[in-house]
Amino acid sequence: MSTYFGKDCPAGMVQVEFVNCPPELRYSAYGWQPVRRATLDLYVDGQRFHLELGTVRDLAGVPHRGLSIVTDARLTCAPTARNAVSLWLDDPSHAATV
């Protein structure tokens, strides 16, 4: 069985593909010591989401501390709780399977 799926991640599945944190700062199987910036690549049904965490810039180039999500997918964004926002794929071929 392949250990890499990426864009071929099966429908109904998710994959953590790449975590960009210094390996020497890893303190357990699940965590790292705090760093100034990190990136993470996730796949949902084969669609890549590149997350940049730390200082991100808005369209005017103003820095903010937070999260940036980079993808070429068409997404719908909506608040789903007082403290949560959800994004989902607009493409009907990526409909959730429960």
Instruction: Quick: pLDDT tens for 2-61.
Output: 566 778 888 888 888 878 888 888 888 888 899 899 999 999 988 999 999 999 999 999
State the pLDDT at residue 52. 94
Q: Which two tokens mark 17?
A: 């593909």
In the DSSP assignment, the letter for residue 10 is P
Does an H or E element contain 17, and which?
A: strand 14-20
Which one-letter amino acid corresponds to residue 96?
A
Q: With bands split at pLDDT 50, 70 and 90, how would you rate the model's confidence at 98? A: very low
State the pLDDT at residue 29. 83
**Ranges of each domain in the chain:** 6-72
pLDDT tops 60 at residue 97: no
State the pLDDT at residue 53. 93
